[in-house]
Amino acid sequence: MTIVFVPKESAPGETRVAATPETVAKLVKQGLEPLVERGAGAASWISDEQYAESGARLVDAGEGYGQGDLVLKVAAPSAEEACRIKRGAVLISHLSPTQNLEVVEALRDGGVTAFVMELVPRTTKAQTMDALSSQANIGGYKAVLLAAATLPKYFPLLMTAAGTVKPAKVVIFGVGVAGLQAIATAKRIGAVVWATDIRPEVKEQVESLGGKFIEVAPDAGQTEPSVYAKEASEDYKKRQAEAVAKHVAEADVVITTALIPGRKAPLLITEDMVRSMRPGSVIVDMAVSQGGNCAVSRCGEDVEVHGVKVIGHPNLPATVPVHASQLYARNVLDVVKHLVPDKENENRELRLDFEDEVTAGSIAVHAGEVRHAMTAEALQQRGGS
């Protein structure tokens, strides 16, 4: 029988947990044996008793790491934690492998397989395993609430006997999952919302949520409205930057969501753009953990620069731990079901099929080899063996 271990998260500020009583019960139903470290769910308001009632056996970390065939985590393990995972086990977790090379080396040298949640392909088959989307949705929602709580103005239009209060203007960079949720949330609480993205085809999605898309005139002779920024002319890029800068200068709130797993975040808001904003305005930089989209944001700090308040919280989903844990745990459960299939698997054994696109695309380390090309290259450049 496959043993599944859920440790308590050790990363600073990490309040989420990789399994909930709901998913533990489903693991038991799948024929697996779940072990949960005592106190693992406390920061998500889940008691040890709830885990025990759902069928988990409560253990200390040493026993769990020593026995777990599958180790389920939210944040990347520390190098010390990676060394505690037993040889041959599979870690299912966020990892940011290009940024955590010491951990990758520990997993590789310890014979641990790493299934990386950030690497799950964006396909229909893997949709229920897509933790980036489930967590970005929460992050986009919370970014707007933080901005609204910080802004020294109302968000909605108000018409009162004392006069009319104009609605706040919110500008959102990036129309992915986080950006779309930010648009929807800002509209729900009454703001006027503008959004920008290098993909012109997202205009419909922005408008369907009540937002307005920042458009840029296409190059002469171009039949499509635009293309990806890397394919656009320098003239187009210049016009795009000018159009966006004008909206930023008029904004009460700017939220940036451009984050590419494993890479430094693109710089979208220069210090000059910050300087152009009105005093009291707010920027929420959702990419601050990977260098930031804003030139003046600082990871883990809220700062005031040129009279603008810049929020640099590195882990917004962890500020909503109950639902963030519920959604993440369901993503992880579906990964487990994928790796330990029901059909023709009476002993519920782990099966790593590298012909399968989800398995092959998501596993960064296996059998003493770093399979993820970018990570392998980073190790080589660093001088790792």
Give the residue numbers annotated as catalytic, written as ranges. 122, 127, 130, 133, 228
CA 165 vs CA 106, 155, 204, 224, 254: distances in Å: 57, 9, 29, 39, 20
> Are 213 and 206 a contacting pair, CB within 8 Å?
yes
Q: Which residues of 283-306 are buried (b: 16+ CB within 10 A; e: fewer)?
A: bbbbbbbbebbbbbbeeeeeeebe
DSSP result, 305-318: ETTEEEE--S-GGG
The β-bridge relationship of strands 282-285 and 308-311 is: parallel
Whole-angstrom distance, CA of residue 43 vs CA of residue 77: 17
Q: What is the 3-state secondary structure (H, E, C) of 47-68?
A: CHHHHHHCCCEEECHHHHHHHC
Cross-strand pairs, 163: 160
- The pair of three-digit structure tokens given for residue 67, joined into one six-digit string: 């026995």
Helical H segments across 78-199, by residue range: 79-84, 101-109, 131-150, 177-188
Q: How many CA atoms lie within 13 A of 90 on its CB side?
A: 22
φ and ψ at residue 36, rounded to 5 degrees = -125, 130
